[in-house]
Structure 1
Amino acid sequence: MVKLMIRKLGVVSLLFFLFVSCGKQNEKTKIVVFHAGSLSYPLKMIEKEFEAKYPQIDLLLESAGSVESARKISELGRRCDLFLSADIEIIQKILMPLHAEWALGFAGNEMVLAFGKNSAKYKNINENNWYHAILSHELQVGRADPNLDPCGYRTLMLFQLAERYYKMPNLSKKMIESIGEKNIRPKVVDLLALLDAGSIDCIFIYRSVAVQHDLKFIQLPAEINLGDPADSEIYSKSEIEISGKAPGESNTLHGSPIVYGVTIPKNAANKDGAELLLKFIFSERGKNIFKESGQNFISPPIVIGEKKP
């Protein structure tokens, strides 16, 4: 089924390419992409190569936390041609079935505790004592907003899992209180500037982003880092509530292995262009760009929903 879908994308891609090639010489066809901030690095590489291959196309990338991006579609009625989320469950919970019919899980990741390049505190922290350093206020820690960015609620899930793993009652609550709200930002990549400036010591972030920015990081146990499908049952014991589809509503999310998702929203203005871009992302070159960016590519993708491109 996945192979058939990719072949169909190839046919659409050819027809769309012929169409845009026949357009006015100086008039470019736009493809609007909403995407998770943690995908900025690989998507900029894809933008460069995609536009070189299709010079009549202008790829417009708009970065935000995945929850915020989904709400631009569901609540504000904004249009994009392709939506790439740091959590496929955001597509399921917020966009399907009213605003999207399907989703493809295409990439994995894991949570790490990352330090600045010149951090002097990094050498004293490891996977066995990092939470002690937080509780003793030795570290200024940054984290993303759980209501806007999946990395934010995954950080809180990580805390719950750490409480069970290290067998320390109330560890999650104590860490949240110790960190406070001063260094919470809308999306995880917003924290990088604070880290570079030395305003904070470390941040909970995806491994891929730490690799892309050459950060030092502590690799956390598989039982808590949300990166190993073999530990799905353990992850599911964590539970977070975030804002729902409408004001006053909430969504309950359970921990699961990190899976990034992509969809073409129902209100996409350029569905053919979106399919052409999707085909490039799932090409060997597209997969390699994600791998070079420190991110696992899931092949074949996880398919959710009945109707697919």
Structure 2
Amino acid sequence: MRRRWMGAILMVVLLSVLSPGCMNSSSGSSEVTLTVFHAGSLSVPFERLEKAFSDRKRDLGYRVTFHDEASGSVKAVRKVTDLGMEADVVAVADYSLIPELMMPNYTDFYVAFATNEIVIAFTNKSRYSSEINSSNWYEILSRKEVSFGFSDPNQDPCGYRSLMVMKLADYHYGRPIFRTLVEENTNVYFNGTTIIVPEEIQVKSDRLVIRPKETDLTPLVESGSLDYYFIYRSVAEQHGLRYVELPEEINLKDLRLANHYGKVKVHLGSTGKTIQAKPIVYGVTVPRNAPHRELAMEFLRYLLSDEGREIFERNHQGFIVPPVAFGNVPDEIKDLVRVEG
């Protein structure tokens, strides 16, 4: 009798240990944490997207949580390629970082899915906020009492795109804007053909602020300790900031102006890569060694769906319809994308 009683208890214990709610694999699990490395500018739409996805899975009896690491996109990629960190999803503000730095060793596909543009954001606390516009912004930023900032070009696409915008502004306005705003305040320089970004950027003036990612500058502007910063339009609108809308010839928004933007190049000391200016397009992939690949593909499918697009658009992020996929595109998403190459 005692033996049967002990056997029953053992069976209960085994069943509880082996039950789906206690398993941690990507298939058959009722409790999984997906790790997502993403651009800082994607923080708000990804937060909303992840909540909606988690709610949907919960209704099906699964508990999905997310571990998000927001950073500059170059840094996000290098976590995988240089530091050997594992992620289920990698989403970057410059799609070209994936084929250039992750393929073919770390992934074999990517999807171009969202767009944006560079603006100059500020608040009513900013000096000369009542004067600044799309015709005089560079004059306002050049005033000695005005502070401005952009993110680190070595870590963040918004940073090197800010440099591209200022160099394109030279050509558009016919003024030495890049020299005045960048070369006089840092050791970044234009060598006649390419913007050179040293691996260690030196800031020569306390009126210029550089931070690892673009969203690190947002609280400085909101508090009034920084007057202006170069940022994505989506982030400015998400935070209710005022902003100067720049001409399409320099804001990196217009897909039709790819050749025009392309006359500006930036060489990054951090990667040794030279990046040609182009319209802003975001990219996403699931790495080869994603710990929960099956569920990561479900999440990617949700991101690329009409529901995902609506979440992004509600949060002021432009979306490509349909998204465009490259490489060895997984079957799970082929019906949601246009496959190229």
Matched, 1:261 2:283: yes
Matched, 1:34 2:37: yes
Q: Which residue of 2 aligns with 1:10?
A: none
User: CA shift at 1:90, angstroms?
Assistant: 1.0
User: CA shift at 1:100, angstroms?
Assistant: 1.3
Q: Among residues 57, 80, 96, which one is paired with 1:89 in the alignment?
A: 96
Tell me which of the two structures has the higher relative contact order, counting C-alpha pairs closer than 8 angstroms and 6 or more residues apart.
Answer: 1
Q: Which residue of 1 aligns with 2:243?
A: 217
Instruction: Note if contact 1:101-1:308 (Cα within 8 Å) is conserved in structure 2.
Output: no
SS class of match (2:86): coil
Instruction: Note if contact 1:212-1:294 (Cα within 8 Å) is conserved in structure 2.
Output: yes
Equivalent positions of 1:81-230 (< 5 A) are 81-119=88-126, 121-168=128-175, 170-180=176-186, 181=203, 182-230=208-256
Instruction: Note if contact 1:134-1:179 (Cα within 8 Å) is conserved in structure 2.
Output: no
SS class of match (2:70): strand
1:106-133: CA deviation from partner (whole Å, max 9, x where unpaired):
0000000000254352220111111111
Structure 1 runs (4+) greater than 6 angstroms displaced? none
1:262-294: CA deviation from partner (whole Å, max 9, x where unpaired):
001112111111111011111211101110111
SS class of match (1:280): helix
Q: Which residue of 1 aligns with 2:316?
A: 294
Query: Identity of paired residues, percent?
Result: 38
Normalised TM-score (structure 1): 0.87
Q: Which residue of 1 aligns with 2:293?
A: 271
User: CA shift at 1:135, angstroms?
Assistant: 2.1
Segments of 5+ residues of structure 1 without an aligned counterpart are 1-21
Q: Which residue of 1 aligns with 2:51?
A: 48
| Whole-Å separation in 1 of the counterparts to 2:124 and 2:215 | 16
- Report the more deviating stretch, 172-181 or 279-288: 172-181
Give the residue type in structure 1 aligned to 2:252: L
User: CA shift at 1:161, angstroms?
Assistant: 0.5
Normalised TM-score (structure 2): 0.79
Equivalent positions of 1:225-244 (< 5 A) are 225-243=251-269
| Whole-Å separation in 2 of the counterparts to 1:146 and 1:202 | 17
Q: Which residue of 2 aligns with 1:6?
A: none
| Whole-Å separation in 1 of the counterparts to 2:185 and 2:221 | 15
Summarize the Cα distance change of 1:207–1:272 in structure 2 as closer, same or farther, 3 Å threshold: same
1:144-182: CA deviation from partner (whole Å, max 9, x where unpaired):
0000000000000001100111112x4212211455535
Give the residue type in structure 2 aligned to 1:235: Y
